Every structure is written in C-alpha cells, then in structure tokens.
C-alpha cells in the first residue's frame, strides 16, 4: 500500500519499525501492536503533515497515545488472565516478518517486568528511556505534568533495573543449554536436567486457560526436571528448532507440524535460573507451524 494525498512523500517503511517498536514495548503483544501500527498508518495517510518537523517523533507519539488507551481498556482483561502471563513472542531473526528496533527493552525478561507496571509507567519509561522523548512531550501523551511523567519514569526504571543489570548468557551458551535441556527431557535423564537447572530455578508456564499449563510458577530443580520429563511423555513432540525470539534464542517444539510450546531461558553461571514455557495457542500463532 502506498501513501497518497498529503502524506504522499512520507517514507512509511522507514518509520514503521519505530511505530511498531513503541507499541510492542508498551503492550507486550504482537497482535495489538500491529493493530496500533495500522491505526497510526491510516491517521498519517489522512493527516496534513506539512507542519510536522519531526515525523518519527510525531508517529511514535501517536503510537504511544494509542497504545496507552488500548492498555488501559485491556487492564481488566489482563488482570483476569488465567495463570502466569508471558508476552506474545516476537520473531526477530532474519526471516522475521515484523522488524523492530532491538535492544534489552524487547527481551522476554524485560517485558515480563513491564507487565507489572501501570500503563502510565510503561509509556513514560518507553518514551523516555528508549526513544529519548523529553518529559514535556510525554506529559502531553499521558495528560499530566512533566514532573509527574519524570516521577513515573523513575519509578518504572527502578522496577526494571534488575533486568537491565543482570548478566546475559551468550547466544551460543543459550542455544547449548536449550538443546541440552531438550535432549535430557526426551531421554528422561533426571540427573542431566537437574544439572542444567539452578537449585532455586523457577519454571513459568503460560497457557492462558487455552492449553494445559501450571497455574502457578514451579520452583526447584528436581520439581522442574520431573515436570519437563512428564510433559514430553504426555505430548510426545517430534520436531524441534531454535528460533530467535525477542532478540534471544528460543526452542520451538512441534508435534505433527503444530507448534505446541516455545521455551525461553535466563541463565547464570551455565545454569537455568528461569525457564519460561509458552503454550497459549493464540500467542504461539505468530511463530507459525512447520
């Protein structure tokens, strides 16, 4: 689709990653972020942009304001979500359909923490820390004062500090651990699985009430290892592949060509500290089948 009329000279594709990136960071779902991006596109196509000096900032501001409204209206729905919530995964490898500005702010770990923030805190943090917006402009989006927006961003920054400061395992190490975990679970090798897990590791499963998953986080290496083996016995997956999700390797597991779960991990000193398994079919849809 090409822009016409007053927006004929707008290079939409050059700015789309920033628009989608702002929406995805704020909302944590690909589907909602795509809807916001489409809405921004339509409004840009119909607007008189001759007086807009910084088009990227104008578009990102519109995306943030729209996302803020979506997030506020979705709050009740999210609070009633069945079981733990994980972000909708974003394919970020070379074959990804959606391009996004990549940094730690779109990692799974960061988006999980972002979900604990208020809508206003999320908007303030994303616009200031990711896009470098001044607080007077953020205040226009939130309908408050620059001082209030500054306080919101500061409070949010303190909440996400642990994720930002946490050491990250290399891509190669993450892939090695994911493959080793898969092999041990398939083989029913309890000792190998326990060896891959930190003694106080946490397992988080997201089924959203649409697929079988633990309703609460599971803690402890031995308990998680038993669960992993049991799930393989029940589901009997027949294919696996490493994909890049939210800028990090993830293990996609299939049965009969259908994607049945997606695993991401946090690793410290060669051991898994947090194991996240997404099984909600609606959230898995963007990854696709084989």
Could you give the CA distance from residue 63 to residue 23 in angstroms, rounded to a whole number?
A: 6
Distance CA 101, CA 99 (A): 7
What is the pLDDT at residue 95?
59
Is residue 12 a contact partner of residue 27, using CB atoms and an 8 Å limit?
no
Look up the pTM and report it: 0.88
Q: Write the pLDDT tens digit of every residue in 63-97.
A: 999 999 999 887 656 677 889 999 999 988 765 65
pLDDT digits (tens, 9 = 90+) for 242-282: 999 998 999 999 999 999 999 999 999 999 999 999 999 99
Helix (H) or strand (E) holding 168, with range, is: none
pLDDT tens track for 12-42: 888 999 999 999 999 999 999 999 999 999 9
Q: For the chain, how are helix, strand and coil distributed in percent, rounded to 5? A: 55, 15, 30
Query: Quick one: 199 exposed, middle or buried, by C-beta within 10 A (0-12, 13-18, 19+)?
Result: exposed
Give me the mean pLDDT over the 235-246 stretch.
92
Q: Which two tokens stand for residue 188?
A: 């029913």
Note the pLDDT of residue 3.
45
Side-chain-facing half-sphere of 194: CA atoms under 13 Å? 7
More reliable by pLDDT, 239 or 106: 239
């Amino acid at each position: 689709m090409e822009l016409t009329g007053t927006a004929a000279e707008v290079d939409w594709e050059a700015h789309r990653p920033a628009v989608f990136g702002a929406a995805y960071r704020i909302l944590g779902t690909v589907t909602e972020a795509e809807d916001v991006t489409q809405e921004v596109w339509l409004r840009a196509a119909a607007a008189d942009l001759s007086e807009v000096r910084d088009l990227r900032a104008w578009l990102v501001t519109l995306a943030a304001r729209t996302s803020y409204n979506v997030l506020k209206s979705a709050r009740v729905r999210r609070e009633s979500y069945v079981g733990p919530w994980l972000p909708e995964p974003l394919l970020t490898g070379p074959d990804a359909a959606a391009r996004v500005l990549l940094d730690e702010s779109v990692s799974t770990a960061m988006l999980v923490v972002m979900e604990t923030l208020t809508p206003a805190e999320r908007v303030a943090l994303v616009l200031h820390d990711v896009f470098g917006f001044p607080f007077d402009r953020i205040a226009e989006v939130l309908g408050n004062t620059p001082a209030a927006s500054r306080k919101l961003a500061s409070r949010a920054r303190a909440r996400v500090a642990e994720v930002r400061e946490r050491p990250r395992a290399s891509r190669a190490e993450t892939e090695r651990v994911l493959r080793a975990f898969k092999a041990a679970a398939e083989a029913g090798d309890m000792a190998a699985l326990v060896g891959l897990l930190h003694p106080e590791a946490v397992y988080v499963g997201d089924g959203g009430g649409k697929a079988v998953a633990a309703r609460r986080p599971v803690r402890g290496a031995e308990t998680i290892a038993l669960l992993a083996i049991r799930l393989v016995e029940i589901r009997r997956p027949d294919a696996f592949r490493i994909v890049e999700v939210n800028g990090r390797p993830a293990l996609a597991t299939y049965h009969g060509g259908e994607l049945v779960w997606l695993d991401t991990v946090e690793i410290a000193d060669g051991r898994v500290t947090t194991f996240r398994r997404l099984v909600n079919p609606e959230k898995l849809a963007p990854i696709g089948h084989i």
